[in-house]
Amino acid sequence: MSKHWQSFGELNNTEAYQKSLQNEFKEDLPFEMDGTLLDAQTPRRDFLKYLGFTTAAAAIAASCEVPVKKSIPFANRPEDIVPGVANYYATTYVNGGEAVSIVAKVRDGRPIKIEGNDLSTITRGGTSARVQASVLDLYDGARLRFPTIGGKEVTFDAIDKELSTAIAGSVVILSSTVNSPSSLEVIKQFLAKYPNSKHVQYDAISYSGILAANKICYGKQVLPSYKFDTAKAIVSIGADFLGTWISPIEYARQYAKGKKLSAKNPEMSRHIAFETVASLTGSNADERFLHRPSETGAVVLGLLNAINGTAPNITDKKLAAGIEKAAKALKAANGEALVVCGSNDVNVQVVVNAINEAIGANGKTIDFATANNTSVSLDTDFATLLDSKVDTLIVVDSNPVYTWGDSAKVKNWLKGIATTVSFGAKADETSSLCKYQIPSHHYLESWGDAEIVTDHYSFLQPTINPLFKTRQWQDSLLKWTGSAIDYVGTLKASWSAKLGGENAWDKILQEGIWSTVATTATASVFASTGVETAKTALAAMPISKGVELQLYQKISIGAGEGASNPWLMEMPDPVTRATWDNYLIVSPSKAKTLLNIDLNNNGQSDSYEVVVKKKVVEITVGNKKAKLPVLIIPGTHPETVGIAVGYGRTAKIGKTVNGNEEKPVGENAFQFATLANGAVSFSVADVKLSLTSELYPVALTQTHNIYNTDQGNRTEVMKELTLAELKHNPNEVLEERMEELKPYTGLTEKEIEELEKEGKTEEFFDKFRHNGSIYKAYDKPGIKWGMSIDLNACNGCGACVVACTAENNVSVVGKSEVLRFHDMQWLRIDRYYSGNDLDNPSVVFQPLMCQHCDNAPCENVCPVAATNHSSEGLNQMTYNRCIGTRYCANNCPYKVRRFNWADYTGSDSFSGNQDEMNDTVLYMNEDLTRMVLNPDVTVRARGVIEKCSFCVQRLQEGKLKAKKASRPLETGGESKSWDLKVACQQSCPTEAIVFGNVNDSKSAVSAHRENNANRLFYSLEQLHVMPNVSYMAKVRNIEEEKTEHKA
Amino acid sequence: MSLKYESQLREPLVYGNKTYHQVTEDIIRPIEAKPSKLWYIGFYIAVALLLFGVYSIYRDVTYGIGQWNLNKTIGWGWDITNFVWWVGIGHAGTLISAILLLFRQGWRTGVNRAAEAMTIFAVMCAGQFPIWHMGRVWMAFFVMPYPNSRGPLWVNFNSPLLWDVFAISTYFTVSLLFWYSGLIPDLATVRDRAKTKLRKHLYGISSFGWTGSTKHWQRHESLSLVLAGLSTPLVLSVHTIVSFDFATSVIPGWHTTIFPPYFVAGAVFSGFAMVQSLMVIVRKVFGMEDYITMGHIEAMNKVIVLTGSIVGIAYLTELFMGWYSQSKYEGYTFWYSRANLFSPYGWSYWGMMACNVISPQIFWSRKMRRNLFVTFFMSVLVNVGMWFERFVIIVTSLYRDYLPSSWSVYYSPSVWEIGFYLGSFGLFFTCFFLFAKYMPVIAVAEIKYVLKISGESYKDDMANIEVKEAGEFAHEYAH
């Protein structure tokens, strides 16, 4: 081997060289050094340097106070925790009778994100906004932290001791629907100890009408399973099955299945909605017809008649025509049809059953063999209970003081009960009136099971040690029963016995689900005896002449469960786009007379839009009054107004309910609910509305709702068409796109014509890509991330919005900031109205996040290059480089960039600048609440821009996963396996969002674009910003072709 | 044949039978006298405004840009409106000094000093806005391209905001040099007249040892010409580049090729109006009617009506293109968001039209051009109008752009946003008052220069010479 030498010294290997090798510092050091380094003296000329350095260093060290953060490392690392790697536990979201199989993502012992459980045959991994937000409730500072007697903290032993004598006489357990077999067993054992005891179930949102009607018609007091996916024709009458009705996640998935169509198979289900106040379901319907709440009976009766061949007896011509249409569609579907109705009137539901029987739905789209256990309660049970004498009341997950129409009566009744025990997690309206408060665990801290539908079980397991001194209510009952084993013991024992061994129990805990449910529906025997009575009763029902009030649930707030959750309060309502508030919904034509606002008048509609303060109206029903601001929402019957329930909660359940006002937001609309015909009725006739001189600011996140302007129809933003149009000309969307892009291709009219003739559309778009810009278009090899959203599948439910907030640590800014248009959500769902009927327009939802443009206008305007493009097609944001000029936000045509207007996260280097923050922001910054933050995502400081990153942390994780397995990345496609799913995609119940590598021709996103090439469009494509999010045009199943569609 | 032809139409550039000494006395007097009560009142008001501005910025820096009412759709509002407005105002000085110098317009001498000072101060004010409007102003040095230890991480040379950094700083530097080099002979005059040691010392330092030798004068003249040559393209480039902030974007109402000339004309327009406002006050307060004459005011008014009409044509061209382009987005911005008086911001568009296009037409009348009150009122009105113009361009384009879903709620400024603007006035007038007190507001040396060819005393001296025949004069001169 030849030797390479650096110097002659090395070559000759002299002694001097050997010595010099020993010397570490060959060059002269700036010291006067006689001997060793330590004895060196500072030379005069370096003295000032040292002085300067030490002074500066001392000054810096002294002035930068570093906050002391205490953290304690694991002495011994727990076996199943790898720092920085998340664990996933299958468990179940439970809210009353509602149960959703989920997987909780746990990082370092903290559950931080809820994902849907793919193994569930009911939800297939879908979730809802409320499920997504439930993880924040775990860290809710307003949760009760210890058991109390009369408000004083006590130990569990003390309370058990006292209650062992206090529980006496007639004992009643009042709960919402309990769908857990083991819990029912616990209750049964407990009640067995007390002779005069019973279990009463009461649900705030009652389905009594359906339960009673099914008892009459089928002899089964259950909610059946509906199969929207097999229905070709769907008629919904006031049932918001995509938003809030019974099992919306399941129905949304089924419904979307029927709505999805491809170029090869352009067929889809047809949905006609009849409703009183604009709902998510009505907004998604192919056609919507409006009626008064008091007309519901007439509508179902008319529909039954129309199906039987007689004309409906309805004066409103539009409505009558709609009923005829619906009947025709239902009959044509030949059994693959379904009618659902949201009314709580037993007579109405009996007639609905008769309709479903007449169209042959029973056994096809309705399955009584598989009962849905969301609600089993009858309102009469609770009403009778209110009139009976009770000595001991144990309240489990129920809040009648707030949700029962006659709240005063409930309060009085509670006062007369000697022993009141509440297991409520918070000091809500009912539990704060109870003497003994024994807070139960959050579901993420609990054990349990739930029978979601007959023979389909979902299991709960704790994902974190209880944060507070709480005890699961089943354990309390078992203790008082005198049982030797605790709840988890009984659970394990019973399931191990049922499944045959502890291993099987472990397995279902891992999977979270155990199901033996049959997939095919079976018909039940229909007894028509009740139908005639119901028909006569309905025919005799008076139709109101005055204004009527319809109470409805918001997707986010429900019956008030979401009212203390900042994520849900700040989630824009899909229908009204409002956050934080309760309001009165009126139709545009009612607004003309009531508010003097004509939306057809540009000036008036402008000032209604741009001014955040809305007029306030006083609603009077008998002696009950409420004052609420008014929002004008098309799709509402002119003589009907709507109010959402769930507001006006007590401030004891959290600061958030105040929405930064002094008193809780909104009014309790449950007060208007009445007991009629054995069930709670959520509609009220003869309502008096009077305009007050007050104004009230409503925090809307979208103020303008129409993409058609006087200066032209902005079809580049959004494309929709009817099924008839699509069938007539499958390339309509494609042609429209080409028409819009023509001027930017550098081609002459003649050349374009030739390309069109030869069907070379690819070449056309290629020309557009290359000639639309002065810059060269480059190939983008490797991974290129892309998203595709099917507007036909998306129903606007907003699960993705909350999922995105949770995944990406998006700030909650509170009402006062949303009012100033400072909302921070990275993903929003734009809602547009189209069509000529302002009172009842077509609605389309468009989820919009950063489009990750290949030719992004935001990127080239940033003076410091803080936002730039990755080699994988991501438009990435470098927070610590951003100086906050906001130029990128201005130049974003999609307006998806969000600026940190203030120190929302407390991560700013300026201390003490949160003193002007609203309560919500401060709440989100508490140590407890911050436990929900995703450690993989930077919390953004004040003064920087942020936006959708395509969940880049998940992309990295997915890429690593593939890399470790030494195989290409998989995003769907033939193998159906996913290395990653972005948060919005994961949460979507309808699989409307598909994400993946578009350079992989076999990925799901490529397939999605390929299969729907004729519906594909990019929003604002003509700007040549080259977005990476494609949309599939919305198709409505309407017979007529809409001519006004073309601009 | 007379030796000198004197135009009957042109007015003298300096009134009164002034000698060189009188000129010096007239202009330097305010510097040597105690400030008047009026000066103190004005100065204290200006400082108070400045302090309010400083507090407004303190809030903005400590609490965040959320102190202003900007939002997710309207990312720029009063901040950038004020920036462009002040930069525009800062155009007149250089135009008067440089371009008029090159064109040998003698009348510029009466106003150039104050106009240049105004330019410097206006650019200083303008610079505040892009700096303090940053979300993280403490990171503002990121816009400086220099080899650094962050990678090295360079700036984005594609961004018009970066061009702004260069354009404004260059313009400021050149304007400052030009202004100061003109000041040197005058500062030396003040030094020479100084009676206290301190004054002598300070003015001595600031006049760089000027002795008034021929060599000094020669170099001074050359420098003036070179700087004039340098700054002439700057007059055009600065506002062109400012207009690129908008023109290179994709937002309808911004994405417009007409912007560079339109912005430059607008800048000259507003700059002249600002000079006019200040001149009318200065000549009154310091009694300088003889130096800043009606002729000056009229000449400036002519420029105002010219540039006002140019921007008027630009406005109409935009409207025409809004229709002719058949772009629905532009059509909406120009015809609905702006030209429609009853749309939410229609008032600002018509305010702009009324102030900038319609009302300056009054200056076609000579009588009006020479009316001090009308001149002053109009000069203020023009700057109000030009403020509206920037507001219209920025806010009405942003608040309703492409996606109707993102259309904004009504934007009106917060008290701290207004405070920042008032603070910039404070800064401007504080500087201006100090300038007026400590420096000659009129270029003494240059006035003396025009006095030679246009002053009354010169004419008197020349009178007995001019009666002589040319041959006679030559004969005498030869002896």
Half-sphere exposure of A387 (CA within 13 A, CB side): 5
- Do A760 and A783 fall into the same domain? no
pLDDT tens, position by position, A967-991: 988 888 777 888 999 999 999 999 9
Chain A to chain B Cβ contacts (< 8 Å): 208
- Do A681 and A812 fall into the same domain? no
Instruction: Using CB atoms, pick whichever of A606, A860, A908 lies closest to residue B344.
Output: A606
pLDDT tens, position by position, A438-479: 999 999 999 999 999 888 899 999 999 899 999 999 999 998
- Do A612 and A752 fall into the same domain? no
Q: Are A256 and A795 in contact (CB under 8 A)?
A: yes
Bin A561: left if φ > 0, else alpha if -120 < ψ < 50, else beta: alpha
Residue A7 has pLDDT above 90, yes or no: no
Q: Is residue A596 part of a domain?
A: yes
Sign of CA dihedral B36, B40, B43, B49: negative
Sign of CA dihedral A156, A158, A164, A169: negative
CB contact under 8 A, A893 and B136: no
pLDDT tens, position by position, B206-216: 999 898 899 99
Q: Are A844 and A1034 in contact (CB under 8 A)?
A: yes
Chain A interface, best mutation among B168, B405, B415, by max A CB count within 10 A? B405
CB contact under 8 A, A865 and B154: yes
Residue A52 has pLDDT above 80, yes or no: no
CA B259-B261-B266 angle, to 5 degrees, is 90
- Do A850 and A992 fall into the same domain? yes
State the smallest CA–CA distance between residue A594 and chain B in angstroms.
23
- A484's CB contacts (< 8 A; 6+ apart) are none
Query: Which CATH number belongs to the domain containing residue A273 in this structure?
Result: 3.40.228.10
Instruction: Using CB atoms, pick whichever of A602, A706, A828 lies closest to residue B404.
Output: A706
The set of long-range contacts for A622-626, using a CB threshold of 8 Å and a minimum separation of 24, is A624/A671, A624/A672, A626/A667, A626/A669, A626/A671, A626/A672
pLDDT range class, residue A584, cuts 50, 70, 90 = very high
- Do A788 and A848 fall into the same domain? yes
Q: What b/e readout covers B267-287, taking b as 16+ CB neighbours within 10 angstroms?
A: bbbbbbbbbbbbbbebbeebe
| pLDDT at residue A33, as a whole number | 60
Q: What is the mean pLDDT of residues A993-1004?
A: 91
pLDDT range class, residue A193, cuts 50, 70, 90 = confident
Q: What is the mean pLDDT of residues A757-774?
A: 84
Q: Is residue A981 part of a domain?
A: yes
**In what helix (H) or strand (E) does residue B298 lie, and over which residues does it extend?**
helix B294-324
pLDDT range class, residue B11, cuts 50, 70, 90 = low
Q: Are strands A148-149 and A436-437 parallel, antiparallel or unpaired?
A: antiparallel
When mean pLDDT is compared across A719-728, B97-106, B120-129, B440-449, the lowest value belongs to B97-106
Q: Are B408 and B398 in contact (CB under 8 A)?
A: yes
| pLDDT at residue A570, as a whole number | 92
CA B427-B432-B437 angle, to 5 degrees, is 130
> Which residues of chain B neighbour A1020 with C-beta distances below 8 Å?
402-403
Whether the bond into A893 is cis, omega within 30 of 0:
no
| pLDDT at residue B101, as a whole number | 74
Supply A552's token pair.
């409805």
Domain boundary among A325, A351, A372: A372
State the smallest CA–CA distance between residue B392 and chain A in angstroms.
15
Instruction: Using CB atoms, pick whichever of A887, A895, A910 lies closest to residue B406.
Output: A895
β-partners of residue A946 are A898
pLDDT tens, position by position, B428-438: 999 998 998 88
Q: What b/e readout covers B51-76, taking b as 16+ CB neighbours within 10 angstroms?
A: ebbeebbebbbbbbbbbbbbbbbbbb
Q: Is residue A313 part of a domain?
A: yes
| pLDDT at residue A893, as a whole number | 94
B344 vs B342: CA distance, rounded Å: 6
pLDDT range class, residue B2, cuts 50, 70, 90 = very low
Among A23-32, A456-465, A521-530, the range with the most confident prediction by mean pLDDT is A456-465
- Do A764 and A807 fall into the same domain? no
Query: Which residues between 58 and 117 in chain B have a beta carbon less than 8 angstroms from any beta carbon of chain A?
Result: 62-66, 69-76
If you search the block for the tokens 């230890």, which residue do you land on?
B149
DSSP A426: B
3-state secondary structure at position B469:
coil
pLDDT range class, residue B1, cuts 50, 70, 90 = very low
Chain B interface, best mutation among A867, A892, A921, by max B CB count within 10 A? A892
β-partners of residue A995 are A787
| pLDDT at residue A1046, as a whole number | 41
Supply B22's token pair.
């009188």
A786 vs A999: CA distance, rounded Å: 9
Query: Which residues between 372 and 401 in chain B have a beta carbon less than 8 angstroms from any beta carbon of chain A?
Result: 398, 400-401
Of A397, A437, A398, A391, residue with least CA distance to A414: A391
Bin B360: left if φ > 0, else alpha if -120 < ψ < 50, else beta: alpha
Q: Is residue A539 part of a domain?
A: no
Chain B interface, best mutation among A576, A706, A850, A901, by max B CB count within 10 A? A901
B78 vs B388: CA distance, rounded Å: 10
pLDDT, greater one: A181 or A524: A181
- Do A680 and A790 fall into the same domain? no
- Tell me the percentage of chain A whose pLDDT exceeds 70: 95
Of A167, A899, A140, A15, residue with least CA distance to A481: A167
B253 vs B395: CA distance, rounded Å: 10
CB contact under 8 A, B161 and A863: yes
**In what helix (H) or strand (E) does residue A945 lie, and over which residues does it extend?**
strand A945-946
Residue A844 has pLDDT above 90, yes or no: yes
- Do A860 and A996 fall into the same domain? yes
- Do A735 and A693 fall into the same domain? no
Residue A773 has pLDDT above 90, yes or no: no
When mean pLDDT is compared across A683-687, A859-863, B66-70, B430-434, the lowest value belongs to A683-687
State the smallest CA–CA distance between residue B150 and chain A in angstroms.
10
Q: Does A717 touch chain B (CB under 8 A)?
A: yes
- Do A684 and A742 fall into the same domain? no
Q: Are A41 and A50 in contact (CB under 8 A)?
A: no
- Tell me the percentage of chain A whose pLDDT exceeds 90: 42
Q: Does A913 touch chain B (CB under 8 A)?
A: yes
CA B46-B50-B55 angle, to 5 degrees, is 150
pLDDT tens, position by position, A507-517: 888 988 888 87
Q: Is residue A145 part of a domain?
A: no
3-state secondary structure at position A233:
strand
Instruction: Report the residue of chain B nearest A913, measured CA to CA.
Output: B63
Residue A211 has pLDDT above 70, yes or no: yes
Instruction: Report the residue of chain B nearest A607, measured CA to CA.
Output: B344
Instruction: Using CB atoms, pick whichever of A830, A916, A945 lies closest to residue B405.
Output: A830
CA B6-B7-B9 angle, to 5 degrees, is 150
What does the mean pLDDT of chain B come to?
A: 86
Query: Which residues between 862 and 891 in chain A have a beta carbon less than 8 angstroms from any beta carbon of chain B?
Result: 862-865, 881-887, 889-891
φ, ψ of residue A615 in degrees (nearest 5): -70, 150
Residue A780 has pLDDT above 90, yes or no: no
| pLDDT at residue B460, as a whole number | 64
Q: Is residue A34 part of a domain?
A: yes
| pLDDT at residue A804, as a whole number | 94
Q: Is residue A158 part of a domain?
A: no
- What's the domain count of chain A? 5
Residue type, B258: I
Q: Does A713 touch chain B (CB under 8 A)?
A: yes
CB contact under 8 A, B343 and A602: yes
pLDDT tens, position by position, A666-708: 888 998 988 888 888 898 888 999 999 999 999 999 988 888 8
DSSP A560: T
- Do A565 and A675 fall into the same domain? yes
> Which residues of chain B neighbour A1023 with C-beta distances below 8 Å?
250, 402
Instruction: Tell me which residue range forms the domain holding A560.
Output: 544-700
What does the mean pLDDT of chain A come to?
A: 87
pLDDT, greater one: A754 or B2: A754
| pLDDT at residue A1045, as a whole number | 45
CB contact under 8 A, B135 and A862: no
pLDDT tens, position by position, B266-298: 998 998 898 888 888 878 877 777 778 888 888
CB contact under 8 A, B402 and A861: no
CB contact under 8 A, B410 and A611: yes
| pLDDT at residue A877, as a whole number | 93
Domain boundary among A331, A346, A372: A372
**In what helix (H) or strand (E) does residue A212 lie, and over which residues does it extend?**
helix A208-218
State the smallest CA–CA distance between residue B394 and chain A in angstroms.
10
- Do A831 and A927 fall into the same domain? yes
Domain coordinates in residue numbering, chain B: 20-143+156-403+416-455
Residue A29, CA distances (Å) to A26, A49, A138, B408 in order: 8, 14, 61, 65
A278 vs A632: CA distance, rounded Å: 10
pLDDT, greater one: A955 or A527: A955
Query: Which residues between 1008 and 1037 in chain A have a beta carbon less than 8 angstroms from any beta carbon of chain B?
Result: 1019-1020, 1023, 1025
Domain boundary among A315, A349, A372: A372
A824 vs A621: CA distance, rounded Å: 39
When mean pLDDT is compared across A315-319, A393-397, A540-544, B443-447, the lowest value belongs to B443-447
| pLDDT at residue A622, as a whole number | 87
Alpha carbon dihedral A904, A909, A913, A914, in 10-degree steps, equals 30
Q: Going along A125-232, which residue ranges are E strands?
A: 148-149, 152-153, 171-175, 198-201, 223-226
Cite the DSSP H helix spans in A13-91: 15-22, 44-63
A289 vs A840: CA distance, rounded Å: 8
pLDDT, greater one: A127 or A84: A127
Query: Which CATH number belongs to the domain containing residue A823 in this structure?
Result: 3.30.70.20
pLDDT tens, position by position, A617-632: 999 998 889 999 999 9
State the smallest CA–CA distance between residue B268 and chain A in angstroms.
26
Query: Which residues between 935 and 954 in chain A have a beta carbon less than 8 angstroms from any beta carbon of chain B?
Result: 941-945
| pLDDT at residue A526, as a whole number | 82
B201 vs B198: CA distance, rounded Å: 5
If you search the block for the tokens 């809409």, which residue do you land on?
A1042
Q: Is residue A117 part of a domain?
A: no
Instruction: Report the residue of chain A nearest B140, measured CA to CA.
Output: A883
DSSP codes joined into one string, A306-318: HHTTS----S-HH
Domain B20-143+156-403+416-455 has what CATH class?
mainly alpha
